[in-house]
Structure 1
């Protein structure tokens, strides 16, 4: 299938202090990454502050939330933050939205907010997008929705500019293709960019990543996991081209632990 030009993002957290975070932003820009993406969790600095700081020390690097969890803000508050970042960065902000992990129930309680049912959290995402569109006026904040279940995929197809699948690390290629088909069907003729997050580059899974995704390298390899990219630079480039050709995915983000290992692919493929 015809695909968009490749672009690449880095998912990193500003948990090690401002100097290290600014260094990460500058390095990502120097290596040719399109976007620096920040996760959303009460144990980390808020993405609003982190992304504003990253944009302030870079020139062309885009910044984005990966992703704002709907239980941690009201829809109006999330839209306020998003539009503010679009204005401050002069259009370099991408708003990533998701329903949040089950572990965020306690974090929502700390903020005095309801965690909500699955439908309520999806409704909050939809309302956030509507608020952003109203606040933007003539501007346009690109919206990425992390789509896990069927209802999220339909919502993403209808309202997102960018869609990243939020399935598990062992989701097969066939299952992924089917889920992307659902999104395309919901999008109708809308132009949607498809994204995918790569957790592991190479064949070694750092302990903290293994704890988060719940599987080891051997399991990822045995299942031909799309969460992993391995082999030579030529082999990895061919695999990304295969994913674009077969699935239509052209926007790949990589965990910040692998920013240097992934850089040769950015140099080879970005913009092509």
Structure 2
């Protein structure tokens, strides 16, 4: 069936990879090229200060290495001033000739460890709105930088329904399939919005930068969590197809350590 969230009908599959720099640069560059050659749509960068280079320049380098889209997964609004985030996003769109996607959310755990004030959720959400509004102004009539919003609560969902091109739902460790299915089905934008799935666990392994410390793969599989997929490519492909049919997800994001394992899935499903 086609879920009503998709509005414009069933979307074709596409796949992204979160690929921070965790090795020497030549090894990372080779990985970027292999990801592109495997048919992945988008190379994504987390916004985690001090753990790796900043996402903006890193993505600009990645876009010059291979013909694929690049994006943030995701900018933490609490870390940045709205104008500077929008300016960087617009600049990346221009420099990549329209291949940049701005992922943005209200923040992440550990912000206080950076010496930054803890901003109330409503203010962080207002920052997200301001960032997107400024981005649209900078883009003008001839450029549209796609916006991906990470959401959970009703107010974030409402903003995403209004302004986002793609929506990914933040998953909690205890969420099972029924809970997330209900959450997504209650999201009813009046526009055609792409639904994305952040998959942090493949088989018994957890992707760096994509799950909180202490994530237990066995518990996620036992709970039938949507944050996990089987490691067998055939089983993973079957489950991904099920998630689009039953819930509406069509854009799936994996960690770079799983890119080669799941390359057969991408070869089979991308664009279908």
TM-score, scaled relative to structure 1: 0.91
Gap runs ≥5 in structure 2: 3-9
Q: Structure 1's 234 and 208: CA in aligned 2 closer, same or farther, altered over 3 A?
A: closer
Mapped to 2, the partners of 1:160 and 1:210 lie a distance apart of 21
Mapped to 2, the partners of 1:221 and 1:242 lie a distance apart of 16
Contact residue 101 and residue 147 of structure 2 kept, 8 A: yes
Mapped to 1, the partners of 2:149 and 2:234 lie a distance apart of 31
Contact residue 71 and residue 108 of structure 1 kept, 8 A: no
Of the structure 1 ranges 127-136 and 175-184, higher mean CA displacement relative to structure 2 is found in 175-184
Q: Name 1:54's counterpart in structure 2.
A: 62
CA-CA distance at 1:262 after TM superposition: 0.9
1:232-271 matches, within 5 Å, as 232-271=232-271
Q: Name 2:12's counterpart in structure 1.
A: 5
Q: Name 2:193's counterpart in structure 1.
A: 192
Mapped to 2, the partners of 1:25 and 1:250 lie a distance apart of 22
1:59-138 matches, within 5 Å, as 59=67, 61-107=68-114, 109=116, 114-137=117-140, 138=142
The Cα offsets for residues 115-146 of structure 1, whole Å up to 9 and x where unpaired, read as: 41100000000111100111001100000000
Mapped to 1, the partners of 2:16 and 2:211 lie a distance apart of 22
CA-CA distance at 1:18 after TM superposition: 2.9
Q: Structure 1's 269 and 21: CA in aligned 2 closer, same or farther, altered over 3 A?
A: same
SS at match of 1:243: helix
CA-CA distance at 1:54 after TM superposition: 0.1
1:155-234 matches, within 5 Å, as 155-184=159-188, 187-188=189-190, 190-202=191-203, 204-206=204-206, 212-230=212-230, 232-234=232-234
SS at match of 1:41: coil
**Number of residue pairs matched by the alignment:** 263
Contact residue 171 and residue 227 of structure 2 kept, 8 A: no
Contact residue 38 and residue 267 of structure 2 kept, 8 A: yes
TM-score, scaled relative to structure 2: 0.91
Mapped to 2, the partners of 1:135 and 1:71 lie a distance apart of 21
Gap runs ≥5 in structure 1: none
Mapped to 1, the partners of 2:99 and 2:206 lie a distance apart of 31
